[in-house]
Amino acid sequence: MFVACLHHITDDDDPAGVVASYLGALAPGSYLVISHFASDFDPEKARITSAGAQAQGLTFVPRSRADILRMFNGLPLVEPGLTLVTRWRPDEDPGPNADRAWAYGGIASV
């Protein structure tokens, strides 16, 4: 299993390319797991969060669902696909604050 943490990689660093470089080293039957902070829910707050991190010398890049999906490099996603991390197990009650988790998560089989 390869767990990718890519919110610190800039678009210039080609996040999907970074993931692709690791995929060749994974054994068949492995899984790629990506969770990533999303910009879709409140783009202005995402921008402010990113700017605050940058002011402290950190890189924090929120991305859209489409951008995160590209990081899977076309691999087949395990159900329920790329969804809010709080909704990844749809048969479990995510709780009253589930929509406050502005992060998508998904698993793909390699």
Q: Give per-residue pLDDT as tens, 33-89.
A: 999 999 998 899 999 999 999 999 988 999 999 999 999 999 999 999 999 988 888
- 3-class secondary structure, 68: helix
The order of strands in the sheet holding 2-4 is 2-4, 31-37, 103-109, 83-84
> Tell me, what's the pLDDT at 88?
82
Q: Which fold has domain 2-109?
A: Rossmann fold (3.40.50)
Give strand ranges (E) for 2-102: 2-4, 31-37, 83-84
DSSP character at residue 17: H
Q: What is the dihedral of CA 41, 75, 87, 68, to 10 degrees?
A: -20
pLDDT at 4: 61
**What phi and psi, each to the nearest 5 degrees, are found at residue 98?**
-55, -35
pLDDT (0 to 100) of residue 97: 76
Band of pLDDT at residue 2, cut at 50, 70 and 90: low
- Judge contact between 12 and 61, C-beta under 8 A: no
pLDDT surpasses 80 at 100: no
| Contacting residues for 41 by C-beta, under 8 A, at least 6 apart | 99, 102
Q: What is the pLDDT of residue 92?
A: 82
Instruction: Identify the helix (H) or strand (E) that includes residue 85.
Output: none
Would you place residue 8 in the very low, low, confident or very high pLDDT band (cuts 50, 70, 90)? confident
Flag whether pLDDT at 90 surpasses 80: no
pTM of the model: 0.85
